[in-house]
Structure formats: structure tokens, C-alpha cells
Amino acid sequence: MKDADFKEVIIKTKQRENYIGSALSRHFKCSIRFNESDDLKKWDYILYSSDYGFCRKMEQTCDFKCNARDPSEGSISTLYFELYTYLDSGKTKEGKLLYSKSDRFVYNLVKLNEILILDTNAIRKLVSVYQRDGVLKTAIPPDFSAWKKKHGSLPTQGALIPYKEILLNDPKATILSYDQLDLHTNQYNVLH
């Protein structure tokens, strides 16, 4: 990926965070503060309210594949959580699920037109249980050089967790439709 293309990807990612973060701030009647530090691994933004007494660090991610909550023929009903990034040396470093200091994951499910807000620790525990029981499914790009050329980033390995299992194991999970947040798909699609 060329430098200009990569810069455009970063700009659009920030615009999506602004768009969705602002919509969540309006929905929850709270304030928003974007992470402007040099350490972007901490979180993307904070939603807080002194009136309602909460402060949540949010990490936002997008999913362009999940198109169903329940598995059926031809549907994708799993969510991807980044566990590791593969370095050029062949070694790995922690991925977003492991390094984020966020309280919540804001998962934008583009094909379902909904936002899923998840407790970060609940997802980590679920992945740990799946690993312990030997049932964790993961995804890794088959060709690292093709991945780098297409995405302009290092390849990642992620946990694939069924949508329904996430909801069963996260009592704090919140599902909000684009309509509830007054997000318009034609506006949002411009940011892809």
C-alpha cells in the first residue's frame, strides 16, 4: 500500500471513530474525549458523564463480514478479535484485544447496521476459556506478503467468536441499531 493510500485509511478510521463516538455520546447524553496522546494503543475515546457518574474508555473496531447473529448456510456469525500481530522477524506482539486499556469494545457491524458495545474483560475471559478448552478458532492470513501489499500493515491473528456466545458471556453487552444512533448508512459508507 502506498503512503498516500495508508494515510487515507488512517484518516477514514479517525472519521469513523468521530462519527460513531459522537453518536454514542449523544445517545448516552454524555461527553466525549478523543485520545490525543502519543499512545494510541490505550483507547480511541472516552465517554463520560458527571451527571450519571460514569467514565468508559472505548476501543472501536469495524467488521465488514458478519452478516447474521445466528449461523446459517452462507452467513457469517462470528466476530474477529485481534490477538497477535506478526512482525517482519516472524515473531509476534500482542494484538488489540490483549494490549488495549479500554473498558469497552465498540464493534461496528457494518452489514448488520448495528453497534455492539462489549465489556473488554468479558471478551478476554471468553477467549481464555476457549483456549483452555481447546475450542478457540483463529484466523491468520495464508500469505503474509500479499496481506502487507494489500493492507499496508503487518498481518494479524485473531480469535473468531460466535456472536451468540459473546452475548451469552457478556451481561453488559449493548446492541444499538444505526437508527437508534441516527447513523445513516449513506453517510457512513462514504467513510469506507
For 131-186, the pLDDT digits (tens) are 999 999 999 988 888 888 877 788 899 999 999 999 999 999 999 999 999 987 66
Predicted local confidence at residue 1, as pLDDT: 46
Strand ranges (E), 35-154: 45-49, 54-63, 78-86, 92-94, 104-109, 114-119, 137-139
∠ CA 39-42-44, nearest 5°, is 95
pTM of this structure: 0.88
Which range marks the domain in which residue 140 is found? 3-189
pLDDT, tens only, 41-96: 789 999 999 999 999 999 999 898 999 998 887 788 999 999 999 998 889 999 99
Predicted local confidence at residue 88, as pLDDT: 87
pLDDT, tens only, 16-37: 899 999 999 999 999 999 988 7
Predicted local confidence at residue 185, as pLDDT: 64
The three three-digit cell numbers of residue 2, written as one number: 502506498
Pick the closest to residue 6 from 107, 106, 148, 140 (CA basis).
148
What is the number of other CB atoms lying within 10 angstroms of the CB of residue 11?
11
Predicted local confidence at residue 48, as pLDDT: 97
As for how many domains the chain has, the answer is 1
- The CATH number that applies at residue 181 is 3.40.1350
pLDDT, tens only, 85-140: 999 888 999 999 999 999 999 999 999 999 999 999 999 999 999 999 999 999 99
Residues 6+ apart with CB under 8 A from 111: 63, 64, 65, 66, 67
